[in-house]
């Protein structure tokens, strides 16, 4: 049926059939344009000394040859890759998707590339860091928890800055940016108190995550200060996911509805949403009439109709900007800043899972 030459034409070189052709290099462009290789390099390096007319001639030659500079080769001499590594723990949580989106948007706008890694929740990031090191990235963003101090010092020795995002390592001098999670926990406690709650529960996430710990601590502290008895502050453990919270709530209250508190603080929005669905759809409860719910993060889903979750917003854009500024990508000669721990405050967003004491103030 089909003849030999039935491959669709691709409109390109006839010599393309084999893979790994001799690539077009700056020498080829130089030859075509009648200049030296140095000139070609200069034509593609902004701010270098080259006559405009010559640059144009070179660019034209490059265009004709479909020449694209080889960043790998140039990285070898400049010792800059323009690559930033982003190591993520948990893309199942929309908050971290938002974080990733923001990092990508910012870095891409700066002309940098993003090397993305995921690390199983709770697993340690050492292997990812090692891989990152091989690629000589200009900086590392780490949103995943575990990181050995050995790794931080190796990175430091090699001059690669790391920023912990919404994490910190107690006793380490690794720099980081985070939301004021403790303060945010306090905000949520105050919101519940203002709405008249007297008994409470928290759905905690990963017990090793500082994020969860801090929110729990701030929340608890504030309640104690307000005179709430420890006995009236319950804790539920669950996987840090929608399903984890859903099941944890069912496990805790389905058989003992009498233990249900006035208010439940989901340590992040996705868990608060899981809790809400369990309480409403499986236990037939009304929110906030039967139980109040609070979350943390303010992911886009939280404002959607089924949830309308009252939550603490993390200013992601700001946090990302802070993180990137700590990296000092533009001044690689600067010594790495260590021991920085920038905290940005969260903000309570009133929606409808906690009755508003006075007037609503959504946004």
Q: Toward a second copy, which CB reaches closer, 73 or 229?
A: 73
Nearest to 329 by CA among 172, 161, 169, 78: 161
Please, which of residues 109-128 interact with a second copy by CB under 8 A?
113-118
Residue 306 burial class via C-beta count within 10 angstroms: exposed 0-12, middle 13-18, buried 19 and up: exposed
Number of neighbours of residue 345 by Cβ within 10 angstroms: 14
Q: Measured from the CB of residue 247, what is the shortest distance to a second copy in angstroms? A: 13
Q: Please report how close the Cβ of residue 68 comes to a second copy at its closest, in angstroms.
A: 5
39 makes contact, choosing from a second copy, DNA, none, with CB < 5 to 8 Å by partner type, with DNA
Q: Residues 195-224 vs a second copy: string with x where CB under 8 A? A: ------------------------------
By CB under 8 A, is residue 2 in contact with a second copy?
no
Helices (H), the chain: 26-33, 37-43, 52-65, 71-78, 94-109, 126-134, 149-157, 181-194, 210-225, 242-253, 269-277, 316-327
Give me the least distance between CB of 308 and a second copy, in Å please: 9
Does position 45 interact with a second copy (CB under 8 A)? The reply is no
Residue 226 as a binder of a second copy (CB under 8 A): the answer is no
Query: Which residue among 65, 74, 173, 356 contacts DNA (CB under 7 A)?
Result: 74
DSSP string, 130-174: HHHHHTT-SEEEE-SS---HHHHHHHHHTT--EEEES---TT---
Tell me the C-alpha distance between 16 and 288, whole Å: 66
Q: Which of residues 2-61 bind DNA (CB under 7 A)?
A: 22-23, 25-27, 35-39, 41-42, 44-45, 48-52, 54
Listed ranges 19-27, 191-199, 200-208, 352-360: which one lies at the site for a second copy (CB under 8 A):
19-27
Write down the least CB distance from residue 36 to DNA, Å.
3
DSSP class of residue 222 equals H
Here's the x/- map for a second copy, 284-313, by CB under 8 A: it reads as ----------------xx--xxxx------
For residues 34 and 317, which CB has a smaller minimum distance to DNA in the complex?
34
Site string for a second copy, 47-86 (x = CB under 8 A): -------------------x-xxxxxx-xx--x-x-x--x
Out of a second copy, DNA, none, what residue 8 binds, judged by CB under 5 to 8 A for its kind, is a second copy
CB of 86 to DNA, least distance (A): 24
For 17, 19, 60, 65, 214, the CA distances from 23, given in Å and listed in that order, are 14, 10, 18, 10, 54
Rounded CA-CA distance 290/156 in Å is 52
For a second copy, which is the closer residue by CB, 97 or 348? 97
From DNA, a second copy, none, interface partner of 51 (C-beta below 5 to 8 A by class): DNA
Tell me the C-alpha distance between 293 and 311, whole Å: 9
Contacts of 111 (CB under 8 A, 6+ apart): 82
Q: How far is the CB of 83 from DNA (least distance, A)?
A: 15
7 near a second copy (CB under 8 A): yes
Q: Which of residues 310-349 bind a second copy (CB under 8 A)?
A: 332-336, 338-339
Please give the Cα distance from 51 to 63 (Å, whole number): 18
- Tell me: does residue 82 bind DNA (CB under 7 A): no
CA distance 159 to 150: 14
- Check residue 169 for interaction with a second copy (CB under 8 A): no
Shortest spacing between CB 182 and a second copy, in angstroms: 22
Tell me if 300 sits within 8 A of 273, measured CB to CB.
no
What span, in angstroms and rounded, lies between the C-alpha atoms of 165 and 177?
A: 5
DSSP 8-state secondary structure symbol assigned to residue 301? G
Specify the residue, 79 or 259, whose C-beta has the smaller distance to a second copy: 79
Give the footprint of DNA on this chain (CB under 7 A).
22-23, 25-27, 35-39, 41-42, 44-45, 48-52, 54, 67, 69-70, 73-74, 76-79
């Amino acid at each position: 049926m089909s003849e030999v030459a039935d491959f669709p034409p691709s409109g390109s070189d006839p010599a393309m059939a084999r893979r790994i052709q001799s690539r077009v290099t700056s020498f080829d462009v130089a030859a075509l344009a009648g200049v030296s290789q140095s000139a070609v390099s200069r034509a593609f390096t902004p701010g270098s000394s080259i006559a405009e007319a010559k640059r144009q001639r070179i660019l034209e030659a490059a265009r004709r040859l479909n020449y694209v500079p080889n960043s790998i080769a140039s990285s070898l001499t400049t010792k800059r890759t323009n690559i930033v590594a982003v190591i993520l723990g948990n893309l199942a949580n929309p908050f971290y998707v938002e974080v990733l989106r923001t990092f990508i948007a910012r870095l891409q706008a700066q002309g940098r590339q993003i090397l993305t890694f995921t690390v199983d929740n709770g697993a340690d990031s050492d292997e990812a860091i090692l891989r990152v090191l091989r690629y000589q990235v200009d900086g590392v963003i780490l949103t995943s928890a575990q990181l050995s101090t050995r790794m931080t010092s190796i990175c430091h020795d090699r001059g690669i800055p790391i920023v912990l995002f919404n994490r910190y390592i107690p006793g380490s001098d690794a720099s980081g940016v985070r939301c004021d999670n403790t303060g945010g926990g306090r905000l949520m406690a105050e919101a519940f108190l203002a709405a008249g709650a007297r008994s409470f529960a928290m759905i905690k996430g990963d017990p090793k995550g500082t994020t969860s710990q801090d929110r729990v601590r701030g929340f608890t502290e504030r309640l104690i200060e307000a005179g709430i008895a420890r006995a009236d502050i319950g804790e539920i453990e669950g996987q840090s996911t929608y399903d984890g919270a859903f099941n944890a709530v069912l496990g805790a209250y389905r058989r003992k509805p009498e233990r249900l508190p006035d208010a439940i603080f989901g340590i992040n929005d996705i868990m608060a949403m899981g809790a809400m669905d369990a309480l409403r759809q499986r236990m037939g409860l009304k929110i906030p009439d039967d139980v109040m719910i609070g979350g943390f993060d303010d992911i886009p889903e939280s404002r959607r109709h089924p949830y309308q979750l009252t939550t603490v917003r993390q200013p992601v854009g700001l946090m990302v900007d802070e993180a990137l500024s700590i990296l000092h990508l533009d001044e690689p000669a600067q010594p790495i800043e260590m021991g920085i721990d920038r905290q940005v405050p969260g903000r309570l967003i009133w929606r409808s899972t906690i009755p508003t004491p006075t007037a609503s103030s959504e946004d």
